[in-house]
Amino acid sequence: MNINEFIDKFYTDKNYKEQIINDLNAETSDYTKDELIEHNKTLDDFHYEMLLNRISNEVYPKTLEIEIEKLVVS
Partner 1 sequence: MKDKFFAIGYHGTDARYTPSILSGIDFAINKGDKFLGQGFYLWRDSYNRAYKWSQSTRNFESIDILYVKVECKKEHVLNFTSQSWGKENMLLEMHKEHFSDKTFGEFIDYLVYHKDLDINMIVIIDLTKNQTTFNIKDGESETNFAFGDIQICLKNNRPILKIDKVA
**C-alpha dihedral (5, 27, 25, 69), degrees to nearest 10:** -70
Question: How many Å apart are CA 31 and CA 16, to the nearest integer?
Answer: 27
- Per-residue x/- track, 27-56, partner 1 (CB under 8 A): x-xxx---xx--xx--xx-xx--xx-xx--
* 9 part of the interface to partner 1, by CB under 8 A: no
The 8-class DSSP code of residue 68 comes to H
* 66 part of the interface to partner 1, by CB under 8 A: no
Farthest CA pair distance, the chain: 40
Name the site residues for partner 1 (rule: CB under 8 A): 1-4, 6-7, 10, 20-21, 23-25, 27, 29-31, 35-36, 39-40, 43-44, 46-47, 50-51, 53-54, 57, 59
